[in-house]
Amino acid sequence: MSKVTIIGAGSAVFATEIMSDILSTPALETGTFALVDIHEGRLELAHQMAEFLIERSGRNWNVEASTDRTKVLADSHYVVHTIEVAGRENVHHDYDIPLNYGVDQCIGDTIGPGGLFKALRTLPVWLEILADVERLAPGTLVMNYTNPMSLTVLAGVRASKLSIVGLCHSIQHTSYQLAGYLDIPQEEIDWRAAGINHLAWFVQLSRDGQDLYPVLSDRIERHPEIYEQDPVRFEMMRELGAFVTESSGHTSEYTAYFRKRPDLIQKYTRSGYRGESGYYANNWPDWVEENASELRGYLSGAAGFELERGPEFASYIMEAIETGVPAVIYGNVPNTGLIDNLPQDGVVEVACLVDKKGIQPTHFGRLPTHLAALDAQHMAFHDLTAASVLEQDREAAVHALMIDPLTSAVCSLAEIRQMFDEMVAAQRDYLPEYLIV
């Protein structure tokens, strides 16, 4: 019998997905869900969904919920971490202030000014959570889903002795997207990916020994509508020789190539997750309410619900650990010699074997040098930001923003420092004291 504690369960759609996956996994017939969120209303909705899902599944699972994680952490086998720290209060600060300096973001939750300040709000809370887990459930496996992914995992493994893996759906989702672009069943494609979260690379893409990259290049030339679905990623593929694992919108702000001038934004970006300016800031608060309304529709019977297992890795990890039947997932883990030409004190995303022994990352080797260089720049940003929080070093956070690819392509050093100070002033109520001057 497993106990799965979901911290940040008030992000109820995601918690619903994780619980649905678990309740649809053959080996996970009994257990307990422990739901934690600081917002009582959202926690109650997640609790109701848990009861609803358990009843639908017919399985012998229990559910408990608390706004105080210390009351439910004991005896946890798995902790799923999916928190958002003051996001709604600051999402416009994360977007609007950088825009005044010419830094135009689409999402702003992984790197750049938005990603940096999301990390500065989130990591202190994350470290407090890990301290409680280590004290109350030291043998648990912590599965992080919170962005910025690499930064969150990096700070966690530097501060804690817990077993921590970062999980994302970008690699497996991209494999299905590529299959769609190629008009080939996903199960017929052989692929190999590695890098860092949101900036990993499909370094192999083949079918029955045939390299599919020339096929994909031909398809986007002959079918412009395919190119239009993912313009930034197809440009990256054309010029760099590999398809990247996160959406065109995310990817557009991860490098200096696409958003440093208005003409480039107009040329390469499109609506929504394809690069729309301010897409996250202008829509995320509404999505929160829409998601809650969707769940209430399931509970009332106004909307139909089908219990099924999705592609998130959490349930597959649990199944492999509980049964010993091996599974392969992609995890964000310390780079202990896994990717030879990336910093060995950082976090990388690679294939991992999972069985009763837990998460076992596999050696990848070397990335092509030009791809590794793009990842290494992000990893330096990660290192500085994690050091800022762990060592309470304000200058490290400023320097992180100074080496951010997009910000440094647009702003001078003095402008970056001024932007940083302005963002701190706007968010001071939600930031650690060492950042306040």
Average pLDDT, the chain: 97
Provide the β-strand partners of residue 348: 333
| Residue ranges of domains in the chain | 2-87+115-167+302-315, 88-114+168-277+316-437
Q: What is the pLDDT of residues 315-363, one digit of tens each?
A: 999 999 999 999 999 999 999 999 999 999 999 999 999 999 999 999 9
Residue 67 is predicted with a pLDDT of 98
Amino acid identity at 367:
L
Is the confidence at residue 170, as pLDDT, over 80? yes
Is the confidence at residue 12, as pLDDT, over 80? no
Is the confidence at residue 297, as pLDDT, over 90? yes
Residue 284 is predicted with a pLDDT of 87
Is the confidence at residue 274, as pLDDT, over 80? yes
Question: What torsion, rounded to 10 degrees, do the Cα atoms 266, 271, 274, 275 define?
Answer: 50
Task: Give the whole-angstrom CA distance, residue 186 versus residue 38.
Answer: 40
276-280 average pLDDT score = 97
For residue 148, whether the previous peptide bond is cis, meaning omega lies within 30 degrees of 0, is yes
CATH class of 88-114+168-277+316-437: alpha beta
Amino acid identity at 172:
Q
Contact assessment for residue 277 and residue 253, using Cβ atoms and an 8 Å cutoff = no
Is the confidence at residue 1, as pLDDT, over 90? no
Is the confidence at residue 81, as pLDDT, over 90? yes
Is the confidence at residue 71, as pLDDT, over 90? yes
Residue 313 is predicted with a pLDDT of 98
CA angle 430, 432, 436 (to 5 degrees): 95
Residue 36 is predicted with a pLDDT of 98
Residue 285 is predicted with a pLDDT of 82
Residue 437 is predicted with a pLDDT of 85
- DSSP three-state, residue 37: coil
Task: Give the whole-angstrom CA distance, residue 298 versus residue 390.
Answer: 42
Quickly state the pLDDT bin for 288 (edges 50, 70, 90). confident
Q: What is the pTM of this model?
A: 0.97
Task: Give the whole-angstrom CA distance, residue 97 versus residue 99.
Answer: 5
145-173 average pLDDT score = 97
Residue 201 is predicted with a pLDDT of 98
Give CA separation, 306 vs 21, 51, 53, 241, in Å: 11, 15, 10, 40
Candidates 3.10.129.10, 2.60.40.420, 3.40.50.720, 3.90.79.10; CATH matching 2-87+115-167+302-315: 3.40.50.720
Q: Is 81 one of the catalytic residues?
A: no
Q: Which of 39, 169, 223, 370 is catalytic?
A: 169
Please name the helix (run of DSSP H) or strand (run of DSSP E) that holds residue 116, with its range, or none: helix 112-136
CB count, 10 Å around CB of 416?
A: 23
- Rg of the chain on CA atoms, in Å: 21
Quickly state the pLDDT bin for 189 (edges 50, 70, 90). very high
Q: What share of the chain is helix, strand, coil (3-state, %, to 5)?
A: 55, 15, 30
Is the confidence at residue 11, as pLDDT, over 90? no
